[in-house]
Amino acid sequence: MISIEEMADVLKLLGDKNRLTIVALLNEKELCVCEIVDLLQTSQPNISQHMRKLKDGGLVKETKRGQWVYYSLNVQDKPYIAEILNRIPSQKEKIQSTICEENDCCN
């Protein structure tokens, strides 16, 4: 059972627009940092800082493939996050219009 304090910490992480957007994007698919940079139109250091906070908060996990790090959601142990994700507007169109599979920055 999660404590109110733990839940407040996680919800505080999601209170930032960029982090909430990142979680919504990762709800659609696993993404590389460079893809998130393109999607949010911000700097790589800025995204890396947000990803570190999300990782430290246990909301995302990373997988290293070659020189690239891919992020995915890690919320199986947080069912209340699934409820939030059900309410967040889909980011599928944004991903499809921004990321071209053939011109992937991570390949």
**Segments making up each domain of the chain, as ranges:** 4-87
Residue 102 has pLDDT above 50, yes or no: no
Residue 63 has pLDDT above 90, yes or no: yes
DSSP string, 10-79: HHHHHTSHHHHHHHHHHHH--EEHHHHHHHHTS-HHHHHHHHHHHHHTTSEEEEEETTEEEEEE--TT-H
List pLDDT tens digits, range 79-100.
Answer: 889 899 999 999 999 999 887 6
pLDDT at 24: 97
Residue, of 102 and 100, whose pLDDT is higher: 100
Fold of the domain spanning 4-87 = Arc Repressor Mutant, subunit A (1.10.10)
